């Protein structure tokens, strides 16, 4: 039994069950064998892993389902390796870890080490400071991608401007077809884009005081053209103005 008490302590000292998975445990076990990963015996690691599960249960570490999955996967691999192989006659052949598991472990380890380097960088940059001033160079070219939330709040502010129309029915039942359709708005928007290359958000409306119906149609039209990737929506970093530009 290679599982040393020291290993268990190391395991418990980590940030908790969620941050460390079965792959980390497997790696620690392999580490404790002091042999190359390509020479690790499948049956040994299977029994050690199951042993680890038992021990840690008694240590009341919260075990996630991932550990059970890994254990059963190991047992499955072991059972597969135990099946007689017609081309292989040797009696006491101890199968090594299968390639896909080794690859997975190596990949896991690689990113753990990359994470370690990021940790060093994180520690270093945490102590590196920049000046704190409120001088902003007029960076006219800083346009940020707009999130859906920004768009909705932009539409909200337009809707609020238009509170005088509060009493107006959103969908007039008697009129049948709405005056503003999303298709029309899309065509209008694309026409403007063709002409100017970029349009400001407020240009979408034909009048100074758009009706609710028009605002809603314009909103849906913007979402639609962004979805079909005709254009993208950007927002100025400093003034928060929203622009629609051709892709």
Partner 1 sequence: MEERTYTKGLLEALLFLSSDPIKLSALAKSAGIEKTEARELLDELILDYQEKEGGFLLREIAGGYQFITNQKYSEILAHIFKDKKRETLSRGTLDTLAIIAYKQPITLTELDEIRGVSSRAMVASLMSKKLVKAVGQKEVPGRPTLYGTTNEFLLHFGLSKLTDLPTPVEVKELKFEEFTPESIIVTDETEMNPDFDTSTLPDELQEEV
Closer to partner 1 by CB, 139 or 168: give it.
139
> Measured from the CB of residue 21, what is the shortest distance to partner 1 in angstroms?
3
**At closest approach, how far in Å is the CB of 145 from partner 1?**
7
For partner 1, the closer of residues 65 and 163 by Cβ is 65
In the complex, the smallest distance separating the C-beta of residue 130 from partner 1, rounded to whole angstroms, is: 5
- Toward partner 1, which CB reaches closer, 143 or 155? 143
Taking every pair of C-alpha atoms in the chain, what is the biggest distance, in angstroms? 90
Q: Which of 172, 182, 246 is nearest to 220 (CA)?
A: 182
Closest contact distance (angstroms) between CB of 28 and partner 1 is 11
CB of 62 to partner 1, least distance (A): 12
**In terms of C-beta density within 10 A (0-12 exposed, 13-18 middle, 19 or more buried), how is residue 185 classed?**
buried
Q: How far is the CB of 208 from partner 1 (least distance, A)?
A: 34
Q: Which residues contact 212 (CB under 8 A, 6 or more apart)?
A: 159, 162, 165, 168, 170
C-alpha 214/C-alpha 196 separation (Å) is 21
Nearer to partner 1, 136 or 173 (CB): 136
Which among 28, 34, 24 is positioned nearest to 5, based on CA atoms? 28
140 versus 207: smaller Cβ distance to partner 1: 140
Q: CA-to-CA distance for 170 and 144, rounded, in angstroms?
A: 32
Q: How far is CA 90 from the centre of its chain?
A: 48
List the 231-236 sheet strands across, edge first: 143-145, 231-236, 242-246, 198-200
Residue 44 or 212: the one with the smaller Cβ distance to partner 1 is 44
**With respect to partner 1, which residue has the nearer C-beta, 36 or 90?**
36
- Residue 178 CB, nearest approach to partner 1 (Å): 31
**Binding residues for partner 1 (CB under 8 A):** 14-16, 18-24, 31, 34-37, 64, 66, 70, 104, 106-142, 145
CA distance from start to end of the chain: 62
Is the dihedral angle over the CA atoms 193, 195, 198, 202 positive or is it negative? negative
């Amino acid at each position: 039994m290679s599982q040393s008490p020291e290993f268990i302590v190391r395991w418990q000292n980590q940030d908790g069950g969620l941050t460390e998975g079965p792959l980390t445990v497997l790696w620690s076990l392999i580490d404790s064998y002091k042999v190359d990963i390509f020479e690790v015996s499948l049956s040994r690691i299977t029994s050690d892993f199951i042993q680890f599960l038992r021990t840690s249960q008694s240590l009341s570490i919260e075990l996630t389902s991932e550990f059970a999955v890994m254990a059963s996967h190991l047992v499955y691999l072991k059972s597969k390796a135990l099946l007689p192989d017609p081309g292989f006659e040797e009696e006491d052949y101890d199968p090594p870890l299968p390639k896909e598991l080794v690859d997975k472990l190596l990949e896991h380890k690689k990113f753990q080490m990359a994470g370690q380097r990021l940790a060093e960088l994180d520690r270093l940059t945490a102590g590196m400071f920049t000046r704190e001033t409120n001088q902003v160079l007029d960076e006219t070219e800083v346009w940020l991608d707009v999130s859906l939330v920004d768009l909705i709040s932009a539409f909200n502010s337009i809707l609020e401007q238009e509170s005088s129309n509060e009493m107006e029915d959103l969908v007039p039942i008697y009129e049948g077809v709405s005056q503003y359709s999303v298709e029309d708005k899309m065509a209008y928007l694309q026409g403007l884009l063709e002409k100017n290359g970029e349009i400001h958000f407020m240009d979408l409306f034909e009048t100074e005081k758009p009706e609710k119906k028009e605002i809603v149609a314009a909103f849906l039209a913007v979402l639609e053209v962004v979805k079909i990737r005709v254009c993208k929506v950007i927002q100025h970093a400093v003034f928060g103005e929203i622009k629609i530009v051709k892709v």
